[in-house]
Copies of this chain bind each other. A is one copy, B any other.
Amino acid sequence: MPDLRKDPIVGRWVIVAKSRAKRPHDFESSPRIYAGKFCPFCAGHEASTPGEILAYRKPGTHANREGWRVRVVPNKFPALEIEGDLNKRGDGIYDMMRGVGAHEVIIESPDHLLSTADLSEENLREVFWVYHDRLVDLKKDKRLVYGMIFKNVGEAAGASLEHTHSQLIVTPIVPISVAEEMTGSHEFFKYRGRCVFCDMIQQELATEKRIVLDTPSFVAFCPFASRFPFETWVLPKIHSSHYENIQKNGVEDLARVMKQVIGKIEAALDRPAYNYIIHTGPFDSSEIAHYHWHIEIIPRLTKTAGFEWGTGFYINPVPPEDAAAFLRDVDVEAHEPKSISVRENG
């Protein structure tokens, strides 16, 4: 008999259908293979992207030239554009505004690497720190209210370029899923006087069965109401609502945890397509007691069908307890990152 489980934050129910349970190797992998095409993100190809917004680079090197370690550029095909006012208006019963915002690409390495797990810890620290820098900067723009950082790896996860990169979209309204998280966690707080995420962390650490990785400042677990097989969340143990309030030492720990957790997922599932998304508080609030920033990592193993679109109700064939047990046992050290250098091919 399948279980129905409720996400304690937004109230979304998930069907955990154990009768359809699968082992990791039952999923069709869509391995990420280097396509051999010209890569606009590789070092030496800086002229192929719009001019850089920010880069961490070797002293003495010049903007939009080689010598960078992490580089932020505007998206060449932006979903939102930074110039102009919002021009909020109605059209009969409909509401609309201009698509003002920001859409940036964070190129995570000058080398043609394919995944977070392939980056060195030093490199990854700078990636997580550049997220901080961009949020702090964009937050100053009073037209903008929310910054969403996410990463698509592999075609099945919506990536169009394979060179490891993440994206930042900053919107003039709070996205509906974020608003739901805010409302849900606020309701929980009003009722119990505690942060629902802090409660989750406490219960997960006590029962241990869904824990993937436990370190002094971060915990990774497969959530009780996982929508997707091997969905894994990474949360800071100390309460904090906004990612951009992270400190340098927090970024060090986060880089280590993310490299390990994604390494485990890649080793377990034969380098699947995946997304990660940083869930953080809106720009217009400073630290809040009921919300807790975290990163959701979603391997893309199953296709969403009509039922999921119509209901927001997910069917997950792998109980999170099984997924976590499997990921805990994966030895990341044994996993050889498949890094490819194609700088000479350019």
Residues on A lying within 8 angstroms of B by beta carbon are 1-6, 8, 10-13, 15-17, 19-20, 77-81, 84, 91-100, 148, 150-152, 155-159, 167, 169, 171-173, 175-178, 180, 196, 199-200, 203, 207, 224-225, 275-279, 296, 298, 303-307, 309-313, 315
Given contacts A92-B203, A306-B157, contact A79 B15 (CB under 8 A): yes
Question: Which residues on the B side are within 8 Å of A203 (C-beta)?
Answer: 92-94
Q: How many angstroms from the CA of A96 to the CA of B309 in the assembled complex? A: 22
Q: What are 6 A-B residue pairs whose CB atoms fall within 8 Å in the complex?
A: A1-B99, A2-B79, A15-B80, A152-B306, A175-B313, A276-B306
Interface centre among A97, A158, A310 (most CB of B within 10 A): A310
Query: Are A176 and B12 touching (Cβ within 8 A)?
Result: yes
Given contacts A10-B176, A15-B79, contact A167 B92 (CB under 8 A): no
Query: Are A306 and B176 touching (Cβ within 8 A)?
Result: no
Given contacts A173-B13, A175-B312, A311-B176, contact A95 B306 (CB under 8 A): no
Query: Are A4 and B167 touching (Cβ within 8 A)?
Result: no
Question: Which residues on the B side are within 8 Å of A278 (C-beta)?
Answer: 310
Q: How many angstroms from the CA of A94 to the CA of B150 in the assembled complex? A: 27
Nearest Cβ distance between residue A114 and chain B, in whole angstroms?
16
Nearest Cβ distance between residue A284 and chain B, in whole angstroms?
16
Nearest Cβ distance between residue A76 and chain B, in whole angstroms?
11
State the number of copies, please: 2
Query: Are A94 and B20 touching (Cβ within 8 A)?
Result: no
Q: How many angstroms from the CA of A15 to the CA of B103 in the assembled complex? A: 12
For the residues of A in contact with B, the DSSP-based class is mixed
Query: Are B99 and A303 touching (Cβ within 8 A)?
Result: no
Nearest Cβ distance between residue A30 and chain B, in whole angstroms?
12
Query: Are A178 and B311 touching (Cβ within 8 A)?
Result: yes
Nearest Cβ distance between residue A194 and chain B, in whole angstroms?
9
Given contacts A152-B306, A176-B312, A307-B148, contact A225 B158 (CB under 8 A): no
Query: Are A196 and B77 touching (Cβ within 8 A)?
Result: no
Query: Are A310 and B4 touching (Cβ within 8 A)?
Result: no
Query: Are A173 and B4 touching (Cβ within 8 A)?
Result: yes
Q: How many angstroms from the CA of A307 to the CA of B147 in the assembled complex? A: 11
Query: Are A225 and B94 touching (Cβ within 8 A)?
Result: yes
Question: Which residues on the B side are within 8 Å of A207 (C-beta)?
Answer: 92
Nearest Cβ distance between residue A20 and chain B, in whole angstroms?
6
Query: Are A6 and B307 touching (Cβ within 8 A)?
Result: no
Query: Are B310 and A279 touching (Cβ within 8 A)?
Result: yes
Interface centre among A77, A278, A304 (most CB of B within 10 A): A304
Q: How many angstroms from the CA of A97 to the CA of B305 in the assembled complex? A: 23
Q: How many angstroms from the CA of A200 to the CA of B92 in the assembled complex? A: 9
Nearest Cβ distance between residue A81 and chain B, in whole angstroms?
6
Q: How many angstroms from the CA of A84 to the CA of B92 in the assembled complex? A: 49
Question: Which residues on the B side are within 8 Å of A173 (C-beta)?
Answer: 4, 13
Question: Which residues on the B side are within 8 Å of A224 (C-beta)?
Answer: 91, 94
Q: Among B13, B84, B100, B309, point to the contact of A277 (Cβ < 8 A).
A: B309
Interface centre among A12, A81, A304, A306 (most CB of B within 10 A): A306
